[in-house]
Structure 1
Amino acid sequence: MIVVTGASGQLGRMVIEGLLERLPAADIVAAVRNPDQVNDLAKRGVQVRHADYDKPATLEKAFEGADRLLLVSSSEVGKRVPQHRAIIDAARRAGVALIAYTSILHADVSPLPLAAEHKETEEMLQRSGVPFVLLRNGWYTENYIASVPAALQHGVVLGSAGEGRISSAARADYAAAAVEVLTRDGQAGRVYELAGDTAYSLTDFAAEISRQSGKAVVYNDLPEPDFKAALLGAGVPAGLAALLAESDAGAAKGGLFDDSLQLRELIGRPTTPLASLVTAALNQ
């Protein structure tokens, strides 16, 4: 039996859908904070169990009988370490045979401040005694695609990544990788550095929007504090604005680049091109 935490989130749902193509629904558990959000999965035969990252008492019961568990990293930056510790401890008590964790690209050496909690979680897994596999996910292309409407409106992509190369991939690519790992044997101890096939700069990103839309769009590189201020001015919440600005600055230092093609190899197909996601955004 395979348990997927955070199963009501975008990545978790995609993983569940991928598992349903390979396994009986009864062998899949959607572990969620609010079971009502996944009633559709329950109707399809998926086991739905209450699992709140902030309520450790809910976790061990949610993981009962699990052979493998996908720990989708918490979305609450700053709270991830205690939340992940609770999940790892509950998995150990429940006798889970393998934990797959969605970490961040090159977590052990990444210049991104976002990597700190991932690195600490990896260290907790090493100390736990539970066999584990690390899915070090690179940047989601969707993180940048979200800026396409504003870029079209103002004719500019803002950032602070300089000419740093970004090896992003689509969320669906990372979900497919998780499905592969969860359904294969011999995964304990593996570390996957997962990233898109072709890297690009934000200058390239702006040029792709311009090419497809026929509108002039350029990239304006800003100092990190100025980019954060611009995001705040656009109504982005303070925590997210800081994360995006810090991550762009990390990209300028190579933190979002990888050319090992491990993601392509794992999923058995090319990763989703940037151009395809730009096309989809323009067609919405």
Structure 2
Amino acid sequence: MIVVTGATGGLGGATVEHLLKRVPAGQVGVSVRDTAKAQHFADRGVRVRQGSYEDPATLRDSFAGAEQVLLVSGNDPAADMVGLHRNAVEAAVAAGARRILYTSQQGAVPGNPYRPSDIHIATEAILGDCGVAWTALRNGAYGPLDQVLGPWQRTGVIAQPEDGPVPYTDRADIAEATAVVLAGDRSFDGPVTLTAPTAVTFDDFTKIASDLTGRTIKRVVLDDEQWVADQITIGVPEQMARLMLTWYQAARAGYFAEAGPLLAELLGREPRTAADRLAAHIAT
């Protein structure tokens, strides 16, 4: 059995949908906080059990019988995510899983200024010591583009801090590739990187956006502290603004620059590009 955590979230839920196209529903289980929200999976024959990273006993029950467990990483900045991930890893080991897969992040290496990297680095170290085969899926940035580009459609300007090349990746492609790894015969040991084929900068985005809209979109580089102040002015908590700033700092330092071919290999096609994602964003 393959058990997926976080199956009522965006990435976990999409991964389960792709799994159900590849393996019988009876071979898929989900571990979720609220089983009512996973009723649509239960109705299709998926085993649904309650499980929470805060409650190892429920995790051991929800992981029972699993050959593989996909641990979707948490992202609560106020929580001890490393401790919670440790709970999940230990529960998977106790349940007898033969392989643990974990949704990590591209550039999860020492020195990366983007603060969530520390969580992924520590969790990968826990996996390395757990005594069970493991895979860390270091996913390229797949969050909403408006989060990193700002309100350019309204202003005609991408006014953000200095950036660097990033292979902005489609979450749907990541979910499909994750299902391919879980359902396939090919094993990956340790960290592997899943990204779109090409890394782009905000300068590239201005050209792409100009072509897509027929407008002249400009790029303005904001001072880091000015950008933080602007974010606070529009209601973003300072702690959150400074956390996001570390992402731009990591990008400009090249921590997200490398784009790899594995995602395309797993999909059997070219992943969606940054231009594809931006066009879809404009259309919504």
Under TM normalisation by the shorter chain, which class is it? over 0.9
Instruction: Map 1:6-21; keep pairs closer than 5 Å.
Output: 6-21=6-21
CA–CA distance in structure 2, aligned partners of residues 263 and 256 of structure 1: 15
Give unmatched runs, 5+ long, in structure 2: none
Q: Which string of whole-angstrom CA distances, capped at 9 and with x for unpartnered residues, describes residues 18-73 of structure 1?
A: 00101111211121111122222222222211111122221100100001011111
Specify the SS of the correspondent of 2:184: coil
**2:19 touches 2:179 (CA, 8 Å); kept in 1?**
yes
User: How high is the TM-score relative to the length of structure 1?
Assistant: 0.92
- The answer as to whether partners of 1:148 and 1:281 remain within 8 angstroms in 2 is no
Where does the alignment leave 5 or more consecutive residues of structure 1 unmatched? none
Q: Which residue of 2 aligns with 1:114?
A: 116
Alignment of 1:30-45 (within 5 A): 30-45=30-45
Which deviates the most, 78-87 or 218-227?
218-227
Q: Which residue is equivalent to 1:80?
A: 81
Q: Relative to structure 1, is the Cα distance of residues 131 and 249 closer, same or farther in structure 2, using a 3 angstrom cutoff?
A: same
Query: Any conservation in 2 of the 1:114–1:247 contact (CA below 8 Å)?
Result: no
* Map 1:255-274 → 2, pairs under 5 A: 255-274=255-274
More displaced stretch, 73-82 vs 235-244: 235-244
User: In 2, Cα distance between the equivalents of 1:210 and 1:185?
Assistant: 44
Q: How many residues align?
A: 282
Secondary structure of the equivalent of 2:129?
Answer: helix
- Aligned residue runs from structure 1 range 172-187, under 5 A: 172-187=172-187
Q: Assess, with a 3 A threshold, how the Cα gap between structure 1 residues 280 and 186 changes in structure 2: closer, same or farther.
A: closer
Aligned AA for 1:131?
Answer: A
Task: Give distance in 2, aligned partners of 1:267 and 1:239.
Answer: 37
CA contact (8 A) 1:224 1:245 kept: yes
1:182-220: CA deviations, max 9, x gaps? 112352524312211011101211332222122332222
Per the TM alignment, residue 117 of structure 1 is displaced from its structure 2 partner at its CA by 0.7
Structure 1 partner of 2:220? 220
| 2:8 and 2:37 in contact (8 A); partners too | yes
Q: Distance in 2 between matches of 1:224 and 1:33?
A: 38
Q: Which residue is 1:105 aligned to?
A: 106
Report the Cα distance in structure 1 between the residues aligned to 2:80 and 2:214, rounded to whole angstroms. 43
Report the counterpart of residue 171 of structure 1 in structure 2.
171
The code of the aligned residue for 1:249 comes to Q
Over 3 Å counting, the alpha-carbon distance change for 1:254 and 1:277 in structure 2 is same
Greater alpha carbon shift after TM alignment, 220-229 vs 41-50: 220-229
